[in-house]
Amino acid sequence: MAVQIIRNDKGEPQYAVVPYSEYEKLINAKNDWEDVPYTASKSDDVTVPNAIVKIMIDQEVSLLAAWRVYRDLSQYDVAEKLGTTQSTVSQWEASGRPQKRTREKLAALYDCSPEQLIP
């Protein structure tokens, strides 16, 4: 398929000119798609700050560990503030799904919403 690219004065692509038969295929392609049923969830609008995601990727840690690192806390610090042990904090971070009450305590400590702690 021959495609002609039309560029602006800066050389940036602005338009792609395709053969009319290809254009018709693109227009008719909408029939190739089907609607996927989806039920909205209360956590649909929950986001995680980019800095947290970057820590997860760069340091290869879980979401809970990334929040802890972001708040400049050690596992020992978290354990002390929540009245538990460092090994328990380590288990939370490894499992990624602590109980609801624990997530609420962690969220208060990390200054985020409990939903932001769910991967």
Q: What is the pLDDT of residues 51-88, one digit of tens each?
A: 999 999 999 999 999 999 999 999 999 999 999 999 99
User: CB atoms < 10 A from the CB of 97, how many?
Assistant: 13
Exposure letters 22-32 (e unless 16+ CB within 10 A, then b): eeeeeeeeeee
pLDDT in tens, 23-46: 888 888 877 878 888 888 776 778
Model-level pTM? Answer: 0.65
Map tokens 């609420």 to a residue: 104
Domains of the chain listed by start with CATH number: 1-29 (no CATH), 50-117 (1.10.260.40)
